[in-house]
Structure 1
Amino acid sequence: MEQREVLGDAVMTRIGQAVMLLHAGDREEARNRLGVIWSEIGERGAALHRCTLAHYMADTQDDPGDELAWDLRALTAAEGLTGAVDADPGGESGDASAVRVLVPSLHLNLAADYLKLQRFEAARIHLDRAWDAVGVLEDDGYGGGIRAAIGRMEQRMRGSAPGE
């Protein structure tokens, strides 16, 4: 068990390093590094790793369709982990807890992706799901930031939907 934790920490550290590059503006290098990690962990990697990596890999994409594909991978990984916990409520791990607080942000990202692709109905569905999921967020900087971002997306959608 300890070896998995050490490996897990190493994967999250590498993801974090790539995210720092992304936030520093080096999207291409971040995309390259995240791509290498994805090739190592793939679809069978730990759900937390897949969710986190895909969540950030989406932000490195130039094409809105590619961004959507990565955001969908992130949500699929999150749902796999949180769905297993819902089936066994006493079995929530730290990973499930970490992923659960990402769910509102994952749906927000999908709403933004669909809005870019002018798929307004899908955008609305995911924005509603983001609102539905905010109850897991704390009343802290992260939670407040996500709630504010969802509110901004709500305003954007009101101005973007056909017939409005």
Structure 2
Amino acid sequence: MEDPAAADDAMTGRIGQVVMLLHAGDREEARNRFTALWAELGEQGDALHRCTVAHYLADAQDDPEDELAWDLRALRAADAVAAERSGDERRTGQVRGFYPSLHLNLAAAYARVGEDRLARSHLALARKACGALAEDAYGDGVRAAVGRLELRLTGSGQLP
């Protein structure tokens, strides 16, 4: 029988390899590989893996509506992590740090499809969730991106 921790590490490594493809600019190949990982995980697969794959798969989309659909899947999977892993602080902590980015991406996606009210709502949720971020380069980057989107959506840098 396969060790669940080893399987978790293997999937995490496979996801990381595809993320590197995406960040290197090969969006089509990354999209294809993420889609294959999503099919392998299935709708009932590990919620943290589903969240991660959907989050990055959204970034690999060319169509704003497709991007929004994947961002919504990522958020649903993140919500499922808390339900599935209530006693696993490591996993719930990982996903808690993901929420600012998830809501930021949803805000940007809703803005791209002309849903300004929903964009502002998710931007406010992203700002609120930023409290879970560490004071590091990742946290600084997400907080800066939230500020830039606030400026773009409101012109003031402060949500109404």
- TM-score under structure 1 normalisation? 0.90
Identity %: 57
Number of residue pairs aligned between Structure 1 and Structure 2? 155
Instruction: Report which of the two has the higher share of helix.
Output: 1
Which residue, out of 119, 125, 150, partners 2:121?
A: 125
**Residue 158 of structure 1, aligned match among 140, 154, 157:** 154
Query: Equivalents in 2 of 1:149, 1:83: separation in Å?
Result: 29
Give the structure 2 partner of residue 148 of structure 1: 144
Gapped regions of structure 2 (runs ≥ 5): 156-160
CA distance in 1, matches of 2:69, 2:60: 12
- Counterpart of 2:63? 63
Which digits, 9 at most, give the CA deviation of each residue in 1:5-29, with x for residues without a partner? 1111111111111110111110010
Report the AA paired with residue 12 of structure 1.
T
Per-residue displacement from partner, 1:55-97 (whole Å, max 9, x unpaired)?
A: 0000110110100010001000111213556xx5xx2432211
In 2, Cα distance between the equivalents of 1:104 and 1:144? 11
**CA–CA distance in structure 2, aligned partners of residues 79 and 71 of structure 1:** 12
TM-score for the superposition, normalised by structure 2: 0.92
For 1:88-107, list aligned pairs within 5 A: 91-107=87-103
Q: CA RMSD in A?
A: 1.5
Q: For the residues of structure 1 that align with 2:10 and 2:43, how far apart are their CA atoms?
A: 18
3-state SS of paired residue (1:43): coil
Runs of 4+ with >4 A deviation: none
